[in-house]
Structure 1
Amino acid sequence: MNKSQRIKKNKEFQTVFKKGKSFANRQFIVYVLKSDQPEFRIGLSVSKKVGNAVTRNRIKRYIRQIFLELGQDLLPNADYVIIARQQAANLDFHESKKSLEHVLKIARALPKK
């Protein structure tokens, strides 16, 4: 995932929070904001309440890999902010992928199969 596909600035996060729509399940909260960019961008937020640095970084790696695998199926012109909840720390990669796909289908960012 290249740098042009990441949301890093606080102002960009706040824009997605204020103008975007949120969808959630027990493990993840996803904010989606349609934009006019040619490719999607993602921003990740994992609180210190979720676990230590190793756990938080593992969750972020999982989310990035999931977005790489789902990249061609996602809406291309949207910004996504993913917030991991505490239950996400107990999931392995495949469970995380299933959970995140579920939330993205609710958000209508992924087509239903």
Structure 2
Amino acid sequence: MMKKRFRIKKEQDFKLVFKKGKSYANRQFVVYLRDHPEVSHLRLGISVSKRLGNAVQRNKIKRRIRAFFQHHKDDLKAKEYVVIARNPVSDMDYHQMEKSLLHVLKIAKCIK
């Protein structure tokens, strides 16, 4: 379970990351990154479109993304991350998602 201080929830926080941050993408995910000087830990926002399925499927995708960040939080740099899931994600299991997210984060050079 991720603590509240590790989450990005407010719309204006999302907008800041989109505006000031950099984006990196592969077929499954778009990841926006923003350096935040006042925060010494990573913060995560997740966006899953209604096109990816019903609420149950979308929540499952969000849980898996959260689990990935929980599992890898020590390997990742302290930044603000906003992860947007794209269409192929709805058919993937956790290990495929993990591989895909690691791929995007390697491109973004935010793995320690």
State TM-score, norm by structure 1: 0.95
Aligned to 2:63: 61
Where do 5+ consecutive residues of structure 2 fail to align? none
Q: In structure 2, what is the Cα distance between the partners aligned to 1:62 and 1:109?
A: 19
* Cα distance, 1:39 vs structure 2: 0.6
Deviations 1:58-104 (CA, angstroms, capped at 9, x unpaired) = 1000000000111000002x100000001110100000000000000
The amino acid that maps onto 1:105 is: K
Determine the structure 1 residue equivalent to 2:13: 12
The 5-angstrom pairing of residues 55-94 of structure 1 reads 55-76=57-78, 78-94=79-95
Give unpaired runs (5+ residues) of structure 1.
Answer: none
Q: Which runs of 4+ in 1 moved over 3 A?
A: none
Q: Deviations over 1:21-74 (max 9, x none)?
A: 000011100000011111110000000011111110010000000001110000
Deviation at 1:14, TM superposition (A): 0.2
Q: Which residue of 2 aligns with 1:31?
A: 32
Paired residue secondary structure (1:49): helix
Q: Whole-Å Cα distance in 2 between the matches of residues 61 and 7 of structure 1? A: 15
Question: Matches of 2:49 and 2:25 in 1, distance apart?
Answer: 16
